Structure 1
Amino acid sequence: MICISTSVTAFEPEKVEVNPELENFTAQFLPPQVLNVTDGVYVARGYNRDNPVLIEGKDGLIIVDPGESLQAAEVVKEAYNKQLNNIFDRKPVKAVIYTHHHDCHIHGASVFADNDTEIIAHDLLDDTLYYDWYGQLFPSRAEGGMMMLGGLYGNDSDWYAGGALFYKQIRGPSGYMPPTITVNDTLETNIAGVDFNIFSAPGETRDVLVIWLPEKKTLVQIANCYEAFPAITTMRGAVMRNPLDYIDSIDLYRSFDAEYMVSLHGPNPVVVGKDNISHTLTSYRDAIQFIHDQTVQNMNKGMTPGEIIEVVKLPPHLANDPYLQEYYGSVERDIYEIFWWYRGYYTGKSRDMYPQSPTEEAEMAAELAGGVDELTAKAGNALDEGNLEWALVLADDVLLLDPDNSEAREIKNSTMIALAENTKNVQERNYLLSEYLVETGQAAYPASGKPKLAFANMEDKAVTYMPMDTLFRIMAVSLDASRSLDKEITVGLQLTDMKNTESSDYALYVRKGIVEIQPEVPEDADFTITTSSMVWKNLVLGKLDPQKAVSDGKVKISGADSKAFYEFMALFNE
């Protein structure tokens, strides 16, 4: 969940047009609706970032993916109650099912669930949640998510054109509840009189679950098939995804011969009829396989990803499929992702063996153009001729060398606006407009370049359930290397509330620019910290001031005075 608050400077945005194809696609989300899929199965489309599903049983209800926040879930609950005669007053929620860990699918749980409600998820959900999101890369993930989703200008701005997989965003505090039942491979169960077959279906994430209701011939799916071309990895950044997992999981979906398919994202979440569902799923998996296989085939010919995108295009029967339009993912970007999945960044060409910094590339471009002024002129010519991608790169090169160059700034700004207006890809549009707003001072992501601030603003609910291994990874990447290169410090850590769960005693070794943490009591500690796990989490994340923690009696230091503790904690300020 992107839980860092935004402080956006008020501005009067100039008109930014929306690509007509994207505009028409986004309009399909409106008005929000509760749709009746089949007997006892409903989906709420357009109310928040996912499409929460309600399944009615004889003596209870089941919610699949409760939404992105407490507020978002309340909106959905109200819509269901209005449509279904106050159904939540008439029947209890027996289970909430998380299909995967992405924030828009898990943070509304407590609106629907109580202490008697089972929370069902993949057994990898917690690991994936704290590795891919609430972990050492949280500042980068949160900022990338804000940029990708248009969070700097928000739903109500004239600039906003939806998120392709959703229309509305309703941010707020988390109501996440940890799983009580986990699924490794399959789970067959009956909840409230409804038979459920739940399967692991990795693809977009490792922790995807797909739900098959055999009596209702209904498939509830997410993460591997959307109403838009897939993003093998999103532009916000994510753990690399195995493209073949998508294909295998969609083949699992096909095997059910479903008569109804419900998607937890997208403007048209219900597909009815075996033939329609089979066609949709077959085309989707064929498109992924085509791009994958042709990329690998050309890799085997010695081609680089840049060369491959020139020759690999979807065949017409797939390129024209309504489920495969590039509103979200991109064929070209997926080719790069597939290439990197198999061999990393290096293409095998000598010219690509020597990575250049952006400034070095800009200096080379200026040298070839005949100087910064000439490079600026070429950027302007590219813009005038409609070569927008070139204009963006060349203008940005000038600004790297001459940040106050007003002509290059105007060219870059005009280019980003034009690219945003032309693209039907939401990720591209939102990134372009977000960078424009940030660079022109019209909006700001408050934690940009300030990872300590990002960690300090992490959702409290996420901190509560954070494993210690995740916290220690955050600690490791927060160490100020320049201030610790001459340090060799050994610190004991005793967590008073962890005696019966995880390890309670640790050794923290700061050693010339790195921190190593071992589950042991060091015999030669310079001093020892004694506190609770939550206090320690809040100290490491910057939510709690070390001096206040000591003065309030939440932290006790033995073997040295408090000053040694403060100096130690001051090393972790990146």
Structure 2
Amino acid sequence: MISSKSTQSLPASSFTKQLNEAVYHSLNFEDRQDFEDAQRGLIAPFDFNIFKSDTGEVLWDTDIVEFLRDSAPETVNPSLWRNSQLQSISGLFQVVDGVYQVRGLSISTTVLIEGKNGLIVCDTLKSIESAKAALELYYKHRPKKQVTAIIVSQSHVDHFGGIQAVLEYAENPNIPIIVPQHFTKEAISENVLLGSIMKRRGQYQFGHVLPPGPRGTVCVGIGTIQTNGITTFEMPNVEIENEIQTLDIDGLTFKFLLTPDTEAPAEMHFYCEDYKVLYASENVNKTMHQIYTVRGAKTRDAIQWVSAIEKTIDLVENKEMDALVMAHAWPVWGKENATQHLKLQRDLYKYMHDQTVRLANHGYTMEEIAETIQLPETLNQYWGNRGYYGTLKHNVKGIYNFYLGYYSGHPSDLDPLPQVEAGKKYVQYMGGAAHVIQQAKTDYKNGEYRWVAQVLKHVVMADPDNMEAKHLLADTFEQLGYQAESANWRNMYLVGAMELRNGVNKEVPAYDSSAVFNKVSVDDFLKLLAVKLNGPKANGKKMTVNVTITDTNEEFVLYLENSVLSHKMDVLDDNPDISLHVDKFTLYGMGNGRLAPAQALADRKLEISGEQNKWNEFLSLLDSFNPLVNIVTP
């Protein structure tokens, strides 16, 4: 990790100090209810300062959040500082007698529900190390009963990545693993086609390349500073298929509510009758979430999200409710408080949706709507709706794009020049780089950081070796990061500043998703190969490849023609150029460039009939994606 000295070097400017000071006067910092709730029910803090992987890698050090005990520094938005302090409150907590929550070991939380015979684990954190640490902490303070069931509430990796560790505590390997409909497909395919660029953009969003501290990362908005570890996956064996479905799990009655196409494409909530506890997964949080996630993903359906919260309110309308539990926050106790929180979250997303659509129908563009829309005070003043993760501006743009796409309607936006070419022309029109930088320095001194960032981007794209422009843009990003209430925006600005000053950190360990990726279906993997095909290199090539997957007894035929790769399932061609007999993981290794065909042949994991050189020729047409592509420079 690059030291803080080399990444963020400047203090807060007078404009940043003034803006952050104004936050104290715009929000009620005297309201300490969230702190009382976040500390309520604490049974035990973590019994370690550092925990490591089996290889000795430090995965979490509790001391790195000690700086949050101080009052807000000038380099952090006070509202974000407050959120970071709340997210850093960690340990084992009792929600109600029989229901427990572990917070602070991952971006998400895990909920432990005591059944009649054992322990039901809801959401297993992101890594096996975090999941194991959570269970060991629980067992030190509660009866050491075996895990009898696992509930995974949705398809994002921070909800299931530690599942294999949890299964080690199970009474047998065939315990129920209960998931929402279409979970498996969504869980293992979300990042297949665009996994490389999503992970790179995720480095900016989550800021794990930044040093923790007042001039670095302070949290991720919906959780504490991101932890590391090995991500795993296990096939579920119980799928909730009905919108409302009741199950008996280890002697307890659970009423499930499917909420598809919301924060996750496969998601569900549940109400536990015996403990009078509602679990709302990630559709309800103690922050504004992301309708459009800035690391890159399909824009979520805001109306579906609103409907899911409304149906959740209806689910418990005539039931007792002692606590509302969420995947990324501390609980809310009491039915009145919980219902009020649900309604404020529902209305937050509905207001953003309805007002964006209203203004779009008035002819306002995406940028104009984002610049002018304001939440009503009843929604804006509520701490649980503040934009620590999503922001009003980028969510509004996401909603606009969901319906109308990126195009503003103005003909000049139909076919604009790309950023490098546009940068060169802008700089030329503005009188050259030196002239632009001089004016930008004046605007920087006047605190016009948004404009300076917008202008200097053109200079850097036109001349990436212009160190004066890069350092001034880095300084500008830094001040914008210091001002941001959203942890995402702060992290992205500060990572941008770091990379402008120091270049891309090539020593950042690659995110190991192999345990999940290996569960990808062959059909999905072949779709990835089609995306990796370099069209110009494939020009004029024609090839038919039969593939028999030996360990799953599947058959496919691949057709390369017109610089397009397509495939069919459950069929083989009568006249292939080559035929492969290969196991699934060997095929994946060759397709991803990790395994040479010659080695696979030598290991007897691959049999080729027909023109053997054709397979090498085919593989040579596939691109390898650079996991550390440039973002703030060309």
* TM-score of the pair, normalised by structure 1: 0.91
Instruction: State the alpha-carbon separation in 2 of the partners of residues 298 and 487 from structure 1.
Output: 50
Question: 1:74: which partner in 2?
Answer: 132
1:110 paired to 2:164: yes
Instruction: State the alpha-carbon separation in 2 of the partners of residues 283 and 20 from structure 1.
Output: 22
Amino acid at match of 2:222: L
**CA shift for structure 1 position 238:** 1.1
1:527 paired to 2:578: yes
Question: 1:470: which partner in 2?
Answer: 524
Instruction: State the alpha-carbon separation in 1 of the partners of residues 459 and 503 from structure 2.
Output: 21
Question: 2:632: which partner in 1?
Answer: none
CA gap of 1:321–1:11, structure 2 versus 1, over 3 A, is: closer
**What are the equivalent positions in structure 2 for 1:291-310 lying under 5 Å apart?**
291-310=352-371
Match for 1:316 among 352, 370, 377? 377
1:486 paired to 2:540: yes
Q: Where in structure 2 are there 5+ consecutive unaligned residues?
A: 12-74, 625-634
Assess if the C-alpha contact under 8 Å between 2:209 and 2:508 holds in 1: no
Question: 1:451: which partner in 2?
Answer: none
Assess if the C-alpha contact under 8 Å between 2:100 and 2:113 holds in 1: yes
Match for 2:277 among 196, 218, 224? 218
Specify the SS of the correspondent of 2:324: strand
**What are the equivalent positions in structure 2 for 1:365-380 lying under 5 Å apart?**
365-380=426-441
CA gap of 1:316–1:9, structure 2 versus 1, over 3 A, is: closer
Specify the SS of the correspondent of 1:497: coil
Identity %: 24
**CA shift for structure 1 position 187:** 2.6
Assess if the C-alpha contact under 8 Å between 1:346 and 1:352 holds in 2: yes
Question: 1:382: which partner in 2?
Answer: 443
**CA shift for structure 1 position 319:** 0.8
**CA shift for structure 1 position 20:** 2.4
Assess if the C-alpha contact under 8 Å between 1:10 and 1:442 holds in 2: no
Amino acid at match of 2:95: V
1:265 paired to 2:328: yes
Assess if the C-alpha contact under 8 Å between 1:143 and 1:445 holds in 2: no
Amino acid at match of 2:407: Y
Specify the SS of the correspondent of 1:63: strand
Specify the SS of the correspondent of 2:121: strand
Match for 2:588 among 513, 533, 537? 537
Q: Deviations over 1:67-124 (max 9, x none)?
A: 110111122112212232xx3x3x1211111111111110111222240321111121
Assess if the C-alpha contact under 8 Å between 2:106 and 2:223 holds in 1: yes
CA gap of 1:158–1:302, structure 2 versus 1, over 3 A, is: closer
Amino acid at match of 2:151: I
Specify the SS of the correspondent of 1:313: coil
Assess if the C-alpha contact under 8 Å between 1:155 and 1:169 holds in 2: no
Question: 2:388: which partner in 1?
Answer: 327
Specify the SS of the correspondent of 1:261: strand
CA gap of 1:310–1:465, structure 2 versus 1, over 3 A, is: closer
CA gap of 1:484–1:458, structure 2 versus 1, over 3 A, is: farther
**What are the equivalent positions in structure 2 for 1:120-131 lying under 5 Å apart?**
120-131=178-189
1:354 paired to 2:415: yes
Specify the SS of the correspondent of 1:494: strand
Instruction: State the alpha-carbon separation in 1 of the partners of residues 235 and 471 from structure 2.
Output: 49
1:497 paired to 2:551: yes
Amino acid at match of 1:307: E
Instruction: State the alpha-carbon separation in 1 of the partners of residues 129 and 512 from structure 2.
Output: 18
**CA shift for structure 1 position 408:** 0.7
Specify the SS of the correspondent of 2:524: helix
Runs of 4+ in 1 over 3 A off after TM superposition: 8-16, 154-158, 445-448
Assess if the C-alpha contact under 8 Å between 2:344 and 2:379 holds in 1: yes
Assess if the C-alpha contact under 8 Å between 2:87 and 2:222 holds in 1: no
**CA shift for structure 1 position 11:** 6.5
Assess if the C-alpha contact under 8 Å between 1:231 and 1:330 holds in 2: yes
**CA shift for structure 1 position 168:** 3.9
Q: Deviations over 1:515-562 (max 9, x none)?
A: 11123212221121211122112211223222211222211111123x
Match for 1:556 among 585, 607, 618? 607
**CA shift for structure 1 position 224:** 1.3
Instruction: State the alpha-carbon separation in 2 of the partners of residues 181 and 337 from structure 1.
Output: 34
1:205 paired to 2:264: yes
Question: 2:29: which partner in 1?
Answer: none
1:517 paired to 2:567: yes
Question: 2:150: which partner in 1?
Answer: 96
Instruction: State the alpha-carbon separation in 1 of the partners of residues 181 and 595 from structure 2.
Output: 32
Instruction: State the alpha-carbon separation in 2 of the partners of residues 544 and 245 from structure 1.
Output: 43
Question: 1:179: which partner in 2?
Answer: 236
Question: 1:241: which partner in 2?
Answer: 300
* TM-score of the pair, normalised by structure 2: 0.83
Question: 2:404: which partner in 1?
Answer: 343
Instruction: State the alpha-carbon separation in 1 of the partners of residues 233 and 607 from structure 2.
Output: 32
Amino acid at match of 2:140: K
Instruction: State the alpha-carbon separation in 2 of the partners of residues 559 and 317 from structure 1.
Output: 71
Q: Deviations over 1:374-425 (max 9, x none)?
A: 2222222221111111111211211111222122112111111111111121
CA gap of 1:400–1:311, structure 2 versus 1, over 3 A, is: closer
Question: 2:197: which partner in 1?
Answer: 140
**CA shift for structure 1 position 442:** 5.6
1:232 paired to 2:291: yes
Q: Which moved more, 1:536-545 or 1:415-424?
A: 536-545
**CA shift for structure 1 position 265:** 0.2
Instruction: State the alpha-carbon separation in 1 of the partners of residues 103 and 129 from structure 2.
Output: 16
Specify the SS of the correspondent of 2:148: strand
1:573 paired to 2:623: yes
CA gap of 1:211–1:491, structure 2 versus 1, over 3 A, is: same
Instruction: State the alpha-carbon separation in 1 of the partners of residues 194 and 433 from structure 2.
Output: 36
Assess if the C-alpha contact under 8 Å between 2:579 and 2:608 holds in 1: yes
Instruction: State the alpha-carbon separation in 2 of the partners of residues 42 and 226 from structure 1.
Output: 18
**CA shift for structure 1 position 58:** 1.8
1:37 paired to 2:129: no
CA gap of 1:310–1:22, structure 2 versus 1, over 3 A, is: closer
CA gap of 1:27–1:11, structure 2 versus 1, over 3 A, is: closer
Instruction: State the alpha-carbon separation in 1 of the partners of residues 552 and 110 from structure 2.
Output: 36
Specify the SS of the correspondent of 1:569: helix
**CA shift for structure 1 position 372:** 2.3
Amino acid at match of 2:520: M
Q: Which moved more, 1:63-72 or 1:367-376?
A: 367-376
Assess if the C-alpha contact under 8 Å between 1:100 and 1:125 holds in 2: yes
Q: Deviations over 1:451-503 (max 9, x none)?
A: xxx8xx7523223321112101110111122221121112221222222xxxx
Question: 1:417: which partner in 2?
Answer: 478
Specify the SS of the correspondent of 1:529: strand
Specify the SS of the correspondent of 1:44: strand
Instruction: State the alpha-carbon separation in 2 of the partners of residues 351 and 572 from structure 1.
Output: 35
Assess if the C-alpha contact under 8 Å between 1:152 and 1:443 holds in 2: no
> Could you say what the CA RMSD is over the residues aligned between the two structures, in angstroms?
2.1
Amino acid at match of 1:176: F
Amino acid at match of 1:536: L
CA gap of 1:29–1:334, structure 2 versus 1, over 3 A, is: closer
Q: Deviations over 1:425-459 (max 9, x none)?
A: 111111112222233336525799xxxxx8xx752
Amino acid at match of 1:422: Q
Instruction: State the alpha-carbon separation in 2 of the partners of residues 10 and 549 from structure 1.
Output: 42
Instruction: State the alpha-carbon separation in 1 of the partners of residues 166 and 213 from structure 2.
Output: 27
Assess if the C-alpha contact under 8 Å between 1:526 and 1:560 holds in 2: yes
**CA shift for structure 1 position 351:** 3.0
Assess if the C-alpha contact under 8 Å between 2:90 and 2:103 holds in 1: yes
Specify the SS of the correspondent of 2:576: coil
